[in-house]
Amino acid sequence: MTDGPTYGFDTLQIHAGARPDPATGARQTPIYQSTAYVFRDAEHAAALFNLQEVGYIYSRLTNPTVAVLQERIATLEGGVGAVCCSSGHAAQIMALFPLMQPGCNVVASSRLYGGTVTQFSQTIKRFGWSAKFVDTDDLDAVKAAVDENTRAVFCESVANPGGYITDIEALAAIADGAGVPLIVDNTSATPYLCNPISLGATLVVHSTTKYLTGNGTVTGGCIVDSGKFDWSASDKFPSMSQPEPAYHGLKFHETFGPLAFTFHGIAVGLRDLGMTMNPQAAHYTLMGIETLSLRMERHVQNAKEIAGWLETHDSVDYVTYAGLESSPYHDRVERICPKGAGGLFTVALKGGYEACVKFVENLEIFSHVANLGDARSLVIHSASTTHRQLTPEQQEAAGAGPNVVRISIGIENAADLIADLDQALKKAHR
């Protein structure tokens, strides 16, 4: 598409970043299944390697199919650039990598995807980084946690396992005050429901594995940069503001301005960490993203109806879905995710652990899997699976107590999903 009128979301999710293939006219983005790209001549090769000219060298760094997806997601999020990578967890490391050094920390919400809690509390220690977990509803606690070694604040917009909406504006104000970027994981909300950049986020990360692909076929991740952060305002971010020895002393922020983070993500992040998205994965995600808004509308509509139905069911203790009037976070929906609170929530069953296991085993349409954000409905009993290794106290804190089942509502007929839940609840309590 050419620059011109400002198109709506439904148009951009199909067209942004894509042009008819210049060689063949192919309308759909081809899968450029090529590792390397022929240089025009030695001068062209030198310019590419010096970052004086943008182009394709080797698919660890850039690939034309992946590039279309990068531009598509950046556009939908309202960012200036994006870097795709091999998974959501890779995106988190890629987002932190240019910001952190040994001894630095990230102030992170205590309400995060379970795998992120493990990555932040255990694995990043190997790099000499650390995370300080705080309740992001306690803004004084967030402010108190930020110290001179903090290099980012990290949260999820609609936090896994569902039902919690983060006050992104309030966190962005604290991060701004401290001169550090706010990173928002927008996986569960997607850019259709929530625009973290318009609420003050510097960087947005995604597991494209989930709703953006939407069909449970490939893993992938993405980091979107708002282009708004001044990396040279302090000496905190030398990777952005100081000379890069591997590029003859080039300074990324000075040279690339608002695109500094994106260029660094490709020219240093992908080059050296190698967490690259392959063109097949980009293709599946491009297919999925074309219908994102339609799917999210149905996810939200189904989730509202089903959460409301479950809330009044005799076998149910409570339902945590921010789209319900009963949710303490209901007030934030209008401001943070005006088109709805997503398709993910938890339900607590009377009868505890045993009832949950029977319930999950007896569902027929819903699949018991460690995934979310698929077109098909999914459930998981966290206490007997993903959160098995945690103590009962840790399970409660993570919203994954033994009596809780996480539900990812798909886009099937709501009446069929309700009938399936109803029969499984009856069997669970027999």
Site membership for ligand PLP, residue 239 (CB under 6 A): no
Choose, by CB under 6 A, the member of 207, 262, 276, 382 that binds ligand PLP: 207
Site membership for ligand PLP, residue 88 (CB under 6 A): yes
Choose, by CB under 6 A, the member of 160, 241, 302, 320 that binds ligand PLP: 160
What residue spans of 197-344 are helical by DSSP H? 238-241, 252-256, 260-264, 271-273, 279-289, 292-311, 330-336
Q: For residues 184 and 204, what is the distance between their CA atoms, to the nearest angstrom?
A: 5
Choose, by CB under 6 A, the member of 70, 87, 150, 239 that binds ligand PLP: 87
**Nearest-5° angle of CA 303, CA 85, CA 46?**
150
Binding mask 101-140 for ligand PLP (x = CB under 6 A): ------------x-xx------------------------
Minimum Å distance from CB 93 to ligand PLP? 10
Q: For residues 397 and 347, what is the distance between their CA atoms, to the nearest angstrom?
A: 15
Site membership for ligand PLP, residue 187 (CB under 6 A): yes
Minimum Å distance from CB 102 to ligand PLP? 24
**How many helices and strands, by DSSP H and E, does the chain display?**
18, 14
Contact region for ligand PLP (CB under 6 A) — 83-91, 125-133, 263-271, 312-320? 83-91
Site membership for ligand PLP, residue 162 (CB under 6 A): no
Work out the number of other CB atoms within 10 angstroms of the CB of residue 235.
8
User: Of 160 and 226, which has the nearer Cβ to ligand PLP?
Assistant: 160
Count of positions on this chain that bind ligand PLP (CB under 6 A): 17
Amino acid present at 210: K
The CA-atom distances, in angstroms, between 155 and each of 107, 152, 171, 211, 343 are: 9, 10, 9, 18, 18
Minimum Å distance from CB 30 to ligand PLP? 25
Site membership for ligand PLP, residue 408 (CB under 6 A): no
Q: For residues 271 and 266, what is the distance between their CA atoms, to the nearest angstrom?
A: 6
| Binding residues vs ligand PLP (CB under 6 A) | 87-89, 113, 115-116, 156, 160, 185, 187-188, 207, 209-210, 219, 221, 372
